[in-house]
Amino acid sequence: MSYQDKYQKWATDLFFDEQTREELQNIKNNEKEIEDRFYKELEFGTAGLRGIMGAGTNRMNKYTVGKATQGLANFIKKEKGEQKGVAISYDSRNNSRYFSEIAALVLNANGIKTYVFENIAPVPELSYSVRKLKCIAGIMITASHNISQYNGYKVYAEDGAQITAPIDKQIMTEVKKIQNYEEIKNISKEEAVEKGLYNTIGKEIEDSYIEEIKKQLQNKEVIQKQANLSIVYTPLHGAGNVPVQRVLKEIGFTNVHIVKEQEQPDGNFPTVEYPNPEDKKAFTLALELAKKVNAEIVLATDPDSDRLGVYVKQKNEYIGLTGNMSALLILEYILSQKKEKNMLPENGAIIKSVVSSTMVEPIAKHYRVQLFEVLTGFKYIGEKIKEFEENKKYNFIFGYEESYGCLAGDYARDKDGVAAVALLCEAAAYYKEKGISLWEQMLNLYEKYGYYKEGVKQITLEGIDGAEKIKTTMENLRKNPPKEIGGYVVKKIRDYQTQTIINVETNESEKITLPVSNVLYYELEEDGWVAVRPSGTEPKIKYYIGVKGTSLEDAKERLEKIQKSI
């Protein structure tokens, strides 16, 4: 069926509701828009769905959400997991609550019990609830940090991590089997409640989740001494507002200032172009408030509150920390405190993604903990934690990825911006008690482990043409591998798609044991590296860069040189 045929069916068939048909009739003369909405199905990928909201097969709407959920339901029924149930959460995005209801009722119509959050909640709380309630799966309705037109649908396995192989492929197969939207089962909410299939999650889960975060703290007593640490926080109109304010208050911080213009949930994100704490513009209002209240640390979480962005005060300026920097500050703090108290676990383990800072290598060596590397995506960190849990060989301490996400402790299986706030504020209080700022502690890390610096260059390429351009770029890099990047000689090329590492000088190859992924990684001379991959959540190709310099200034110059060449 051509995209035009699909369009005509959606625009005229009475199976589709009046609002859908009307929306599509309004674009009848816009060929490009029709093509973009119907040239493909919104793909159920390795973590679920993500796309622009609207009518069409390539959009997030009640029909595409229903189809994904029916496929998930068919998988759950094959696994005999109906009574274990599915936990469902949602963030502040437009239609998030609506899509969560659609998902719940499709599952209920298939005889599957659901536990739906009463209010918006962050990703890590959903991950925790799957484990706490012993569910067979979880669903989070969110598009994370994407712009307001987007929404998404993440699926979690019963260990609380986003689905990985082989479960992801099994669910995808079930979704693809559904050829007609008429196959989606439904039930009224009243009937589902009456049958005991539709259940709500309330304060009890939140209370338990907050207690787990508190267990990750290392020096609760230091907070009492530095309770007046001046903190500015913005939830960027997202789900972090309530849990972050609550945890900071309960652990003892008394001088917390909230960016009022961004406090309330709002899926239109009216004060930011892009609700992403990686974006400097997202901190505009927070930094204005920070200057007024003389804040020592400025924090922002994204709409589903799994990512944390940070600015720290040093003298009269605010310095932005990358996701690598904030994660490594937290990691060093945790490891140093555990070592001081003789509480470092035997066979302790740290997990990083392949595109994250290599500064963690000397840190792991210093504290004699094992370092593991996984593919990009926190689900792979979650998968590794599960492996440790099952084989008992390692004790998980910390996992992080460069994209502003980390996890301390194994109570959840996804990155936790709420816990990161608590830990970083505790670390700030600890170092303040010692007479230094967080930035001064970062400088201490550079002096101790080396002047590592990282950056990301990303190019947005939207639509059909953009997807083709991204594909061609990766193909060209494989056909014509660079001999140098930014003046630095390429020593080895890791191709995670062919699962090989090629030594450029000797042409010898070795096998990569990680799963297949469309990632190229170039090891450069003088401890530099560049990795290239298409984004899994946005229409972008991303270039990750890492260098090690002889000083901060030297590292900055090296990084800029490589960025310019890209």
Say whether both 61 and 196 belong to one domain. yes
Residue 436 clears pLDDT 70, i.e. is over it: yes
**What's the chain's average pLDDT?**
96
Q: Name every residue whose Cβ is closer than 8 Å to that of residue 555 and which is 6 or more positions away in sequence.
A: 451, 452, 453, 547, 548, 549
- Packing angle, helices 62-78 and 96-109, rounded to 10: 40
| Averaged pLDDT for residues 506-532 | 96
Cα–Cα separations (whole angstroms), residue 232 to 75, 267, 288, 486, 546: 45, 22, 10, 39, 30
Where a domain ends, among 145, 171, 201?
201
| 390 is a domain residue | no
| Averaged pLDDT for residues 502-517 | 95
Q: What is the DSSP string of 183-197?
A: G-----HHHHHHTT-
| Active-site residue (options: 92, 144, 305, 403) | 144
| 542 is a domain residue | yes
Where a domain ends, among 305, 322, 339?
322
CATH number of the domain at 249, please: 3.40.120.10
| Averaged pLDDT for residues 160-167 | 94
CATH number of the domain at 477, please: 3.30.310
Say whether both 159 and 93 belong to one domain. yes
Whole-number pLDDT of residue 293: 98
Say whether both 84 and 112 belong to one domain. yes
Has 565 been annotated as catalytic?
no
Q: Name every residue whose Cβ is closer than 8 Å to that of residue 167 and which is 6 or more positions away in sequence.
A: 75, 157
Say whether both 147 and 95 belong to one domain. yes
Whole-number pLDDT of residue 463: 82
The total domain count for the chain is 3
Contact assessment for residue 562 and residue 547, using Cβ atoms and an 8 Å cutoff: yes
Distance in Å from the first CA to the final CA of the chain: 41
pLDDT, one tens digit per residue, over 474-509 is: 999 999 999 999 999 999 999 999 999 999 999 999
| Averaged pLDDT for residues 367-372 | 98
pLDDT, one tens digit per residue, over 178-191 is: 999 999 999 999 99
Whole-structure pTM value: 0.96
Strand-pairing partners, residue 460, are 540
Say whether both 71 and 182 belong to one domain. yes
Domain enclosing residue 155, as ranges: 40-201
Where a domain ends, among 177, 201, 225?
201
Contact assessment for residue 558 and residue 546, using Cβ atoms and an 8 Å cutoff: no
Q: Which residue in 33, 96, 91 sits closest to 418, CA to CA?
A: 91
| 544 is a domain residue | yes
Which residue type occupies 343? M
Q: Residue 125 — very low, low, confident or very high, per pLDDT cuts 50/70/90?
A: very high
Contact assessment for residue 47 and residue 165, using Cβ atoms and an 8 Å cutoff: no
Running DSSP on this structure, what letter comes out for residue 280? G
Q: Which two tokens stand for residue 505?
A: 């000088």
| 7 is a domain residue | no
pLDDT, one tens digit per residue, over 463-476 is: 888 989 999 999 99
| 315 is a domain residue | yes
User: Where does residue 266 fall: left (phi above 0), alpha (psi -120 to 50 degrees), or beta otherwise?
Assistant: beta
| 364 is a domain residue | no
Say whether both 167 and 113 belong to one domain. yes
| Averaged pLDDT for residues 530-558 | 94
| Averaged pLDDT for residues 371-393 | 96
Say whether both 88 and 225 belong to one domain. no
Q: Which two tokens stand for residue 524?
A: 């450069």
Say whether both 473 and 549 belong to one domain. yes
Say whether both 461 and 518 belong to one domain. yes
| 226 is a domain residue | yes
Share above pLDDT 90 across residues of the chain, in percent, rounded to a whole number: 96
Whole-number pLDDT of residue 331: 98
Say whether both 147 and 230 belong to one domain. no
Q: Residue 46 — very low, low, confident or very high, per pLDDT cuts 50/70/90?
A: low
Whole-number pLDDT of residue 536: 77
Share above pLDDT 70 across residues of the chain, in percent, rounded to a whole number: 100
Say whether both 104 and 233 belong to one domain. no
Residue 455, φ and ψ in degrees, nearest 5: -155, 165
| 195 is a domain residue | yes
Residue 475, φ and ψ in degrees, nearest 5: -65, -45
Say whether both 148 and 226 belong to one domain. no
Alpha helix (H) ranges present in 91-239? 96-109, 123-132, 167-177, 189-194, 203-214, 220-225
| Averaged pLDDT for residues 416-438 | 98
CA dist 154 and 124 (Å) reads 12
Whole-number pLDDT of residue 413: 97
